[in-house]
Chain A
Amino acid sequence: MSPSADSLPAGIEACDCLTPLGDATATATALLAGRRALQLQPVLGAAGGDLVPLALCGTMDETVPPRWLPALRRLVERIPGDRWGTARRPLIVTSSNYGVGSLYAFTRDHDPRHLRHGTPFACVEMLQHEFGWGEQVNVISHACVSAHLGLVQAARLLHAGLADRVLVVTFDFVSPFVAGGFHSLKILNASLPAPYAMRATGSIGLGDGAAFAVLTRDATPLRIEAHALHNEMHHFTGNRPDGAGFDTCAAAIAVTIRGRRVWVKGHGTGTLEAGRLEAEAYARHLPGAPLVSWKGSLGHTLGSCGLVELAVTLAGLRTGRIPGTVGGAAPCCTGSVALEAFAGDGYDGAILTSNAFGGAHAAMLLTHD
């Protein structure tokens, strides 16, 4: 397979996120201060269970209306413009889990009100009604590359001339469904994640996250220039052990750099094998580019991570400082891992990556004036 990326420049007109640390600016500030949002909490919420690292906006137990709705209301208030969900201003909603926490809640308390938002379509139709969005809504669910895929689709709609602006909205809030699932895979345990660290046992944390971006064909100071995608289809929860999947995606996005000086915001959940393969691939294809992950603080915000972390990146660029790998520790699996914050002014671009089940890889090149 020849590595190739889609060159689809799109201007970022607006972008923000919501994490347990606050909006994008507050989150970037907290990361620069080395704060961790993750705290050890029972894996099944009120039902108890082992303590695992979770970064939550409130408590994990589902409510009616769903616990993520007030957070989404706050986020959506910041979206500029209107008439989203119409032909020239389509909307893309992405999530890994949508309202599946409500289905879990239904199986516990049998309250039928949970079912109003338990499936992706019901969840999105509720949001359309709540926020006055139109019918032109793309709904994507590709596990933890969902938000990233939404940005690709937005760029494609713009470049096909089918849209003037595209709104991408993403959210994933942790529920016992997903925490219990990752716990059953033994990668959500009592240890706080230390992305890219060489240690005996890997671990991840999970976090609540939501974000939006308005993309446009107009020239803007911040742009997503290109995307690279690859799906290994080797194993449901593992990557090819030779790192070929990471290599294919890293090689494809590296071609788009064209002399820019970049740093890399990696996926870096805290798993050992995937972290090492990712770090090695980017050290090989982008030698000298610092690599950071913020999931040691925010946890893995699942399907929303690609856009949540884009918003945090933009906030970091505004402050002039890029947060380091919070929670990371030496020795790291490559020398490129940046544990401390660094100045952003020496760079004119960044690579942002996401990964998902099935060996899904996504990378984008962000550039700025």
Chain B
Amino acid sequence: MIERYLHFLRVEQPTATETVDEARDRLAAMFPRGALRRMTHLGLLVGSTLDGLALGPDDTVVYASTYAETRALEDFLTSFPEASPLLFQTSIHPSAVQQVLIGRQQPVRCFFPLTGRRRLVEQALLTALIDPARQVVLLGGEERGTWMLDQGMASDRAFAFALSLRMEPAGAIGRVAYAPDGADQETSPCPTLLEFAEALAGRREMHWRGAGGGFTLQWL
């Protein structure tokens, strides 16, 4: 059994129609003004979930997103042949987290930006659980696409979450655990990133099988 305890949780679930400008107005107080105008919707949401969470330089950040910087990607693609340098750097997969931590000038030792779809949550939890850092911050989220959404290549809603996972149980609000048993054949559907975010927001327990073991999200 490998486990960590959940000491901080914040979930962002904006309205389905929230635009990046509306998010910027809503969350302006959380970010330096200079950084705010360049941040993406996903960067703003991830930054909001990290508000109030202290990160140290020896902590690890694990970040899960299937689609990541959809809007920057869409806009960068349509900026050709005069490619935009700002959109290029903002379109990379880990950009949302980097926008926030660069704004804070907060170095971290390990940063694992993960992607994928069907078993992304499982992959992110396993990455967090086997990391040796005192605190692992697990982040996830998506932003709503436009023309890529029409092609089925983007999220249809924006959301983000942040969890602080530590070894010590004292004061914890929840627990995540993985019990390996090597049984490869028995898997059950892994929750999607959105389902996981909704379970976090609703404090619902989750159990599923994958990666040769069983995963548990439990509230204390």
Contact = CB atoms under 8 A, between A and B. Distances in A.
A120 B210 contact: no
Nearest to A93: B116
Interface stretch (A215-223, A224-232, A304-312): A224-232
Interface string A168-193: 00000000110011111110000000
B148 to A, nearest CB: 8
B57 interface: yes
B76 A140 contact: no
A138 B153 contact: no
Nearest to B102: A233
Contacts of B81: 44, 47, 49, 180
Contacts of A136: 119, 210-212
Interface stretch (A73-81, A152-160, A291-299, A340-348): A152-160
A131 interface: no
A313 B195 CA distance: 44
Interface in B62-96: 66-68, 73, 76-78, 80-81, 83-85, 88-95
Contacts of A352: none
Interface residues of B, number: 62
Contact of B85 (A90, A135, A139, A181): A181
Interface residue tally on A, bucketed by range: 35 or more
B216 to A, nearest CB: 16
Interface string B91-125: 11111001001101111111111111111100100
B114 to A, nearest CB: 6
Nearest to A177: B77
A190 B67 CA distance: 33
B51 interface: no
A120 B116 contact: yes
A87 B178 CA distance: 13
B25 interface: no
B93 A104 contact: no
Contacts of A200: none
Q: Which of A90, A143, A149, A180 has the most CB of B within 10 A?
A: A180
B93 A141 contact: yes
A20 interface: no
B94 A142 contact: yes
B155 to A, nearest CB: 11
A124 interface: yes
Given A180-B81, A231-B109, A1 B114 contact: no
Contacts of A39: none
A90 B85 CA distance: 36
Interface in A125-154: 125, 135-143, 149, 152-153
Nearest to B119: A135
A112 interface: yes
B130 interface: yes
A177 B117 CA distance: 23
B205 interface: no
A119 interface: yes
A152 B68 CA distance: 23
Contact of B112 (A107, A135, A153, A180): A153
B176 to A, nearest CB: 15
A296 to B, nearest CB: 23
A137 B104 contact: no
B120 to A, nearest CB: 8
Nearest to A186: B85
A233 B80 contact: no
B32 interface: no
A120 B93 contact: yes
A141 B61 CA distance: 14
A230 B93 contact: no
Interface string B180-219: 1011100100000000000000000000001111000000
A358 to B, nearest CB: 4
B21 interface: no
A261 interface: no
Nearest to A229: B110
Interface string A76-112: 0000000000111010000010001001101100001
Contacts of A118: 153
Contacts of B22: none
Listed from nearest, the 5 A-B pairs whose CB atoms lie closest are: A87-B212, A181-B88, A139-B116, A121-B117, A141-B93
Interface of B: 2, 57-58, 66-68, 73, 76-78, 80-81, 83-85, 88-95, 98, 101-102, 104-120, 123, 126-127, 130-132, 148, 151-153, 180, 182-184, 187, 210-213
Given A184-B85, A236-B95, 4 more contacts: A115-B152, A140-B112, A234-B102, A358-B111
